[in-house]
Amino acid sequence: MTTSVPAVRDRPFTSLRTFPVAGGAKRCAPTGPTKKARLGVRAGAVDHKLVRMSEQEATPHIVAVIGGATAGAEVAGRLAADGVRVVVFEMNKRPFGKIEDGLPRWHTGLRNKEYETISAKLAKPGVEFVPDTKVGRDIGFAELAREWGFSSVVLANGAWRDRPLPIEGAEQYIGRGLIYQNPFIIWFNHADEESYQGERFEALDDALVIGGGLASIDVAKVLMLLTTSAALRERGIEVDLVELEVRGLPKTLAQHGLEFDDLGLRGCTLFYRRRAEDMPLAEIPEGADEKRREKVMTARKRLLQKAMDKYRFRFEALSAPDALLTSDGRVVGVRMRRTRIEAGRVKLGDETYERRGSCVISSIGSIPDAIPGIEMKGELFAFTDWECGRIEAYPNLFSVGNVVTGKGNIVASRKHATQVFDDAIKSFLGLQQDAHAGEAALDGNGGAAAETAARVHEHLARAPRPAPETVAEIIKRVRARQQQVGYEGELGAWLERVRPKEKPPV
């Protein structure tokens, strides 16, 4: 639960006060006799210039954070804890981002933990939450960064757009046999909710998944879980989907005297342009010797095989999409080109082969949505400093999380040099018997966000503090937007109000 924070203009200015600065230190406004008093200025005279300077010095910095999920909430919470006023703009009604929309719903433990963590950080005194507000649509980015008067702006709005499938003309078949990962997983997570109004899909047997990262394995698992539960339902057997994910297909089917082949399903196939040992299921530590590299690559192959055994999807390595196969205006398969790996790079070969299936699901990565006012370089923002996510045209801008990495899942956003432990990866893939107990170790946004918060502090230490009237005008605009979207300033009440409700049983 959060408490409304009084506006800066409501805080009385006194001659004796302390206020926080970067690093948590306290600075005191002048309290002794002023120079003019010592020189004999008459008692009761007011030096308005000195008062204005003191008021401005005492005004806390105010920072805009765009995106309220894991990285954005971490930055906001850290800044607020050091006395910085923070306004968090969140494009959704709820501030849970890819934790809610991109992490499949069987990760209940991790999702609930992250929900609580994010909510607690956004409920800190000094944090203003502005939901249902997309910067670039509802508020112009250049306007926010240059005209509102914020001391700094932090981009933490993630990667929500699917990287286009690299096949000429593919986009015309979206919704006609070509599906992208992000809307597919959002549908899977929310289709049972009363308020869901997004795209709707059908989990089809013999789907072709193009990918190679953990997110593509999630897509394959969704397909296998839904098609298997549907096949069992036809036999009069109802299974809980989360329990099916935890136990796996073979064990669940064995409980009913069945094997996978008894269901008449082909299962989906995951195609990857590299080898199984190249899949990013565990990172090779920086500076690792050849023995260590081989050990990690062997572990990757083992993890993939375990996932295939448990969920019964197939895998085709060294295959890059070359063309879509179509019939009557719909995708009916894909032509793949064989690849090879030379010095760690993918090389296209001359051999091609065709594979037909019920649909093609592209899961080759996520990229940030373009924001009018920010220059793009290819699929990503044109950062001039990739370490901090800086852009020369906006000297007060910093960026953190997937908006910098261009990756769209909680695992891929971990800090680059962080080694992911074997048990955490197993938990994420559903290969542990303790049902995802170790998966929280995969969330590495916190470290990068902490570094970003520290860099913002360094910037604020050098930046002039905003005038009280500037802060008052920002808060006035914030209140107007909050009122427009129906947010009354109490985070706990708002989250309860917009909590998704499941459809009543038919």
Question: Cα–Cα distance between 475 and 310 in angstroms, integer?
Answer: 53
Q: What is the mean pLDDT of residues 275-301?
A: 91
Q: Where is 392: in which H helix or E strand? A: none
Question: Cα–Cα distance between 404 and 390 in angstroms, integer?
Answer: 10
User: Model confidence over 37-96: pLDDT tens digits?
Assistant: 333 333 334 333 333 334 444 678 999 999 999 999 999 999 999 899 999 999 999 999
Determine the pLDDT at residue 256. 97
Q: How far is CA 353 from CA 323, 334, 336, 342, in A?
A: 10, 9, 5, 21
Give the N- to C-terminal CA distance of the chain in Å, as an integer: 35
CB atoms within 10 A of CB 427: 23
Torsion-angle region of residue 14: left (phi > 0), alpha (psi -120 to 50) or beta?
beta
Q: How far is CA 139 from CA 144, 162, 402, 469, in A?
A: 7, 23, 21, 21
Q: How far is CA 261 from CA 229, 265, 307, 356, 469, in A?
A: 14, 7, 17, 20, 71
Q: How confident is the model at residue 450 (pLDDT cuts 50, 70, 90)?
A: confident
Q: Please give the structure tokens belonging to residue 502.
A: 């499941």
Determine the pLDDT at residue 51. 35
Question: Which range, of 198-207, 410-419, 481-490, averages the lowest pLDDT?
Answer: 410-419
Q: In what order do the strands lie in the sheet with 85-89?
A: 127-130, 85-89, 62-66, 152-155, 397-399
pTM of the predicted model as reported, rounded to 2 decimal places: 0.82
Which residues on adjacent β-strands are paired with residue 339?
A: 348
Determine the pLDDT at residue 72. 93
Q: Where is 130: in which H helix or E strand? A: strand 127-130
Give the three-class secondary structure for 385. Answer: strand
- 192-212: burial string, b at 16+ Cβ within 10 Å, e else: eeeeeeeeebebbbbbbbbbb
Cβ pair 131, 139 in contact under 8 A: no
Cβ pair 153, 359 in contact under 8 A: no
Q: What is the mean pLDDT of residues 463-471?
A: 93
Given a cut of 90, whether residue 315 has pLDDT beyond it is: yes
Determine the pLDDT at residue 385. 85
Nearest residue to 366 (alpha-carbon basis) of 141, 150, 213: 213
For residues 16 and 228, the model is more confident at: 228
Question: Which range, of 4-18, 135-149, 351-365, 488-502, averages the lowest pLDDT?
Answer: 4-18
Q: How confident is the model at residue 439 (pLDDT cuts 50, 70, 90)?
A: low
Question: Which range, of 106-120, 336-350, 362-376, 434-448, averages the lowest pLDDT?
Answer: 434-448
Domains with residue ranges and CATH for the chain: 56-160+368-497 (3.40.50.720), 164-364 (3.50.50.60)
CB atoms within 10 A of CB 139: 17
Determine the pLDDT at residue 430. 66
Looking up tokens 């015309």 gives 172
Fill in the DSSP letter of residue 42. P
User: Model confidence over 15-39: pLDDT tens digits?
Assistant: 222 323 333 333 333 333 333 333 3
Fill in the DSSP letter of residue 400. -
Cβ pair 222, 186 in contact under 8 A: no
Q: How confident is the model at residue 225 (pLDDT cuts 50, 70, 90)?
A: very high
Measured over the CA atoms of residue 344, residue 346, residue 351 and residue 356, the dihedral's sign is: positive
User: Model confidence over 252-263: pLDDT tens digits?
Assistant: 999 999 999 999
Question: Which range, of 374-378, 423-427, 486-490, averages the lowest pLDDT?
Answer: 423-427
Question: Cα–Cα distance between 31 and 34 in angstroms, integer?
Answer: 8
Q: How confident is the model at residue 446 (pLDDT cuts 50, 70, 90)?
A: low
Determine the pLDDT at residue 432. 64
Cβ pair 323, 335 in contact under 8 A: yes
Tell me the angle at which helices 290-311 and 422-429 cross, rounded to the nearest 10 degrees. 20
Q: What is the mean pLDDT of the chain?
A: 84
For residues 505 and 395, the model is more confident at: 395
Q: What percent of the chain has pLDDT over 70?
A: 80
Determine the pLDDT at residue 29. 34
User: Model confidence over 171-201: pLDDT tens digits?
Assistant: 999 999 999 999 999 999 999 999 999 999 9
Determine the pLDDT at residue 32. 37
User: Model confidence over 325-367: pLDDT tens digits?
Assistant: 999 999 999 999 999 999 999 999 999 999 999 999 999 999 9
